[in-house]
Copies of this chain bind each other. A is one copy, B any other.
Amino acid sequence: MQVLIVGAGAIGSLYGALLAKAGVEVAVVSRSDYESILGGGIHIRSPLGEWLFKPKAVYREVGEAKPAPDYLILCTKVLPQLDRAALIRKALGPDTVIVLIQNGVEIEDEIALAFPEHELISGLAFVCVSRTGPGRVWHQAYGQLKLGTFPCGISPKVQELCQAFERAGIHAEATADIVAARWSKCVWNAPFNPLSVLSGGLTTDLLLTEEPLIRALMAEVVAIAKALGHPLPPEIIDQNIESTRRMPPYETSMLLDFKAGRPLETEAILGNAVRAAYRVGVKVPHLETVYALMRLRELQLAQHRA
């Protein structure tokens, strides 16, 4: 089993390192950390231990990766300025399975349309992990994965991949409706990620002081998912509120990106949700307000940088 990780940031490095631990041959593509990974591998600090992940090969460009892998795991952010299909095209062999471990909703179509002959596995990571320097990754907490065949089902390839992650000590759950799983995750992401930025940096506990707004945003996500044929369990909103209330004060990943000046996944999380709502005729006034405000916030950031 040969795996190529494209996008060896925090997520890609961690899951690549875990697969390597499970005996998989893992190569990585890293443009920014190429030298450091080539020279010294990737140091992983994790609740699962501390170890050095030495990839089987390190590439600066996807096109250099030979031979074609069994699985190409794409772990980049989903950003409008990144053409993901163009990024991975050169590394695909005829039998390569494409795996997305990426955030957002409705992020698969672009890849499925570009590569209709390839099996596509869509995945979500529930993990707290950050890159602390070149070739250094700190896995702070959680780590479980949800993986499913896109658009639905659990193929043997999904099962094989889940088993490899499980061997490495990570809970990897195969799901027959990964699209529903994406909307389910979006129930939390759609309110908490943008509100953490628009509030000027509040942690989750303080965002909950506006619980009615958070519930309204969650309800709109639930309504979109239902109209798309992926009804979510009725208790999902209460559960998300309760579990967030029990969490320690938490800075969302979008807030961390914002503070670090990194690009934000506004389109993957909010933009795609709002566009899906328009397509199926669901009214989402709270989401569209937050989405428009995030675009203004990002316009201001761009102006400020220019």
Kindly identify which residue among B199, B213, B286 contacts A300, using a CB–CB cutoff of 8 Å: B199
**Is the Cβ of A288 less than 8 Å from the Cβ of B206?**
no
Kindly identify which residue among B199, B213, B292, B303 contacts A299, using a CB–CB cutoff of 8 Å: B199
What 0/1 pattern do residues 264 to 306 of A give for CB contact below 8 A with B?
0000000000000000000001101110110111011101100
- Given that A213-B292, A286-B285 are contacting pairs, would A206 and B299 also be in contact in the complex, using a CB cutoff of 8 Å? yes
- Given that A206-B303, A303-B206 are contacting pairs, would A199 and B285 also be in contact in the complex, using a CB cutoff of 8 Å? no
Which residues of chain B are near A301, meaning CB under 8 Å?
200
> CA A195 – CA B209 in complex, angstroms?
21
Closest 4 CB pairs of A and B: A285-B285, A199-B296, A213-B292, A200-B300
Known: A198-B293, A216-B285. 4 other contacts (CB 8 A): A199-B293, A199-B299, A210-B295, A212-B288
Can you list 14 contacts pairing A with B, beta carbon distance less than 8 Å? A200-B296, A202-B303, A206-B299, A209-B299, A210-B292, A210-B293, A213-B288, A213-B289, A216-B289, A285-B285, A285-B289, A286-B289, A289-B289, A293-B293
Q: Hey, which bits of chain A sit against chain B, CB under 8 A?
A: 195, 198-202, 206-207, 209-210, 212-213, 216, 285-286, 288-290, 292-293, 295-297, 299-301, 303-304
